[in-house]
Amino acid sequence: MTAITIRRPDDLHLHLRDGEAMRSVLPFTAARFARALVMPNLRPPVTATQQALAYRQRILDALPAGVAFEPLMTLYLTDRTEPAEVDRARASGCIVGFKLYPAGATTHSDAGVTDIRKVDAVLSRMEEQDLVLEVHGEVTDPQVDVFDREARFIEEVLTGLAARFPRLRIVFEHITTRAAVQFVLGSRPGIAATLTPQHLLMNRNALFAGGIRPHHYCLPVLKSEPDREALNAAAASGDPRFFLGTDSAPHARGAKETACGCAGMFCAHGAIELYAEAFEAAGALARLEAFASEHGADFYRLPRNEGRITLIKTPWEVPRSYPFGTEEIVPLRAGEHIGWRLAGTERG
């Protein structure tokens, strides 16, 4: 039997939601990851340091007894965010960045930024305070083809942004295209990207396999096979600018299986196992540890975790659903198999 033991990983892009829904999904992440960067797109959005600290405390209070897990927080940027918020965030010691959602780009992004120039003063203060900008990189113009929105964002927003703030550290979140990989590879120091298991393992055919598949719909939407290959090559290359961020984004079954379903896939129940599948398929299992447990921590200037997890190559059947507050969620691979299993966690 094949087994691998790696340093305990970090999930640097996670949606936990709040309340009972959060209580349902948090244990999956805490069992696998030592830390996670928790996205601020709640309703209302987490825009202020005090809100983030309160949310962080609710997450800590929801942890199963005896489980050590550290939520890392990021604030939701809006047109009205003040530079002084950057100072408060920095002083809190618990907030590592700000999240840029172009208004209307994705789930709960309506309070996002309508024009990047409106947040120039905030970005400048972030550069001074050395906080990280996490970017949802898609243009929102409805005229632009949905499959081209990430590439257009690079041309229209990200290239200029990276040049105007040459010391601002930027994470291009959940990249989905070859264009995004090439942008990161060709960019100045201080620019990195997260990769999700769903975009490493599936292309856009998965949206239509035998019929329309709402549980394979997320944003940015799955892309073509050449794009998927470029993402896998980036992950498998060992380049420290690419690291783990699951974008696990739970929505109740009813919100997905409907005439206008929400964007987001839930993968926290098997996230590191799914990455193991992808790295094995790429012939790069030996590089999983650096991708999952070193590159992200190093980029965020956090100490690498001390604990270890062990994965064994034994397929297991994913339940058709998990409880989600008073509702249920349909996880990635529901009723199907994941090829690796979490066998043990040593918290260190």
Q: Cite the active site residues.
A: 247
Structure tokens belonging to residue 206 = 């998965």
- Residue count at the site for ligand NCD (CB under 6 A)? 12
State the CB neighbour count (10 A cutoff) for residue 68. Answer: 13
Residue 247 or 289 with smaller CB distance to Zn ion: 247
Residue 150 interacting with Zn ion (CB under 5 A): no
Dist. CA 310–CA 57, nearest whole Å: 29
Q: Residue 219 binds which entry of ligand NCD, Zn ion, none, with Cβ cut-offs from 5 to 8 Å by kind?
A: ligand NCD
Residues 6+ apart with CB under 8 A from 162: 168, 170, 187, 188, 191
190, 182, 136: which is closest to 166 by C-alpha? 190
Residue with smaller CB distance to Zn ion, 265 or 276: 265
76 versus 340: smaller Cβ distance to ligand NCD: 76
Tokens of 340: 């690796």
Establish if 106 lies at the interface with ligand NCD (CB under 6 A): yes
By CB under 5 A, what part of segment 234-293 binds Zn ion? Answer: 247
* Token pair of 225 as six digits: 């096979």
Q: Which of residues 59-88 bind Zn ion (CB under 5 A)?
A: none
Q: What's the rounded Cα separation, in Å, for the pair 97 and 75? A: 7
Site string for ligand NCD, 252-291 (x = CB under 6 A): -----------xx---------------------------
For residues 73 and 51, is the Cβ–Cβ distance under 8 A? no
Site for ligand NCD contains 136 (CB under 6 A): yes
Nearest to 150 by CA among 92, 224, 41, 60: 224
First to last CA, the chain: 25
Does residue 248 touch ligand NCD according to CB under 6 A?
no
Residue number of the CB atom closest to ligand NCD: 264
Provide, rounded to whole angstroms, the least separation between the CB of residue 289 and ligand NCD: 25
Residues found near ligand NCD in the complex (CB under 6 A): 15, 41, 106-108, 136, 218-219, 247, 249, 263-264
Residues found near Zn ion in the complex (CB under 5 A): 247
